[in-house]
Amino acid sequence: MSAPDRPRAERLKSLVVPGVVALVTLAILVTLGTWQLTRLAWKTSLIAQVEERSRAAPVLVPGREAWATMSAERDEYRRVTVSGRFRHEAEAYLFHVAGDSRQADRNRPTGQGYFVLTPLVLADGSSVIVNRGFVPTERRDPASRREGLAAGDVTITGLVRFPEARSAFAAVDDTVRRIFYTRDLAVIARTQGLAATTTAPFSVDADATAVAGGWPVGGETRLSFTNRHLEYAVTWYGLALTLVGVFVVFARQRLKGR
């Protein structure tokens, strides 16, 4: 190797490690951007699905024989009607913070409180847990809202909801007072004295039909979802392009001996 070529060869060799690091980083950034595009397609489909199901005409809630074939993918947010008698003495309470600071609505409740989850016993003896709606903390005690404890046969229209996964950061449930922080229907049903074989694996969120006395307030199901995946994808791809540009400038300067 001639003397003039030796420094250039050494400069090329010095680009190997930075080049490998840049390639690995570029692969990570592109992967993250592509993943966000996948999430964008999923979220767009979810929003359209929720919109369609929640606005459709209600159908009778599926009977016990159909429960095994139901799933969140096919039935979440489906609008149904269900008839039976409430077991108010078995109420359970799911912690919830009502209201949206970005879209304040004076006609809707705000602040900390609970969703009232009440077993509804159907004609065949099976049960469906109904989320009757929101009550503020001071209205959790049924004695403070006796007018809303509907007696006799009732018909509820609402949305099918399936259990949610328990987060590692979720607060510990108070099963003695039947206060919960995760919508784990199996655990909730057990504390209400319901048999797993005759209790629906889903619940029904009641709609905004007014309740005597004003509490609970139904229609609190969240039907809007943030969708910033395109923004995130553009950010990751933009960082990838920036990395390419920076490395090209860096490599040119290195090859020139600067």
- Residue 92: which residues within 8 A CB-CB, separation 6 or more? 116, 117, 118, 129, 178, 179, 180, 188, 191, 192
pLDDT tops 90 at residue 255: no
Cβ contact 51:44 at 8 Å: no
Cβ-proximal residues to 171 (8 Å cutoff; 6+ apart), any chain: 95, 181
> 36: pLDDT confidence band, cut at 50, 70 and 90?
very high
Question: For position 98, what pLDDT does the model report?
Answer: 86
| Mean of per-residue pLDDT scores for the chain | 91
The Cα-based distances of 6 to 9, 12, 19, 26, 249 in angstroms read 5, 10, 20, 30, 22
State percent of the chain over pLDDT 70: 94
Residue 258 pLDDT exceeds 80? no
- In the predicted model, what is the mean pLDDT of residues 196-206? 97
pLDDT in tens, 163-192: 998 888 889 999 999 999 999 999 999 999
pLDDT at 2 over 60: no
pLDDT in tens, 80-116: 999 999 999 999 999 999 876 445 566 777 889 999 9
Tell me, what's the pLDDT at 179?
97
- Give the model's pLDDT for residue 13: 83
Average pLDDT of span 231-238: 95
pLDDT > 90 in the chain, percent: 76
Which pLDDT band holds residue 1 (cuts at 50, 70, 90)? very low
Contacts of 152 (CB under 8 A, 6+ apart): 85
Segment 250-258 mean pLDDT: 83
Taking alpha carbons only, the member of 237, 256, 209 closest to residue 33 is 237
Question: What single string gives the DSSP state of each residue in 21-47?
Answer: HHHHHHHHHHHHHHHHHHHHHHHHHHH
Residue 26 pLDDT > 70, yes or no?
Answer: yes
Tokens of 150: 């509907």
pLDDT reported for residue 101 = 47
pLDDT(146) > 70:
yes
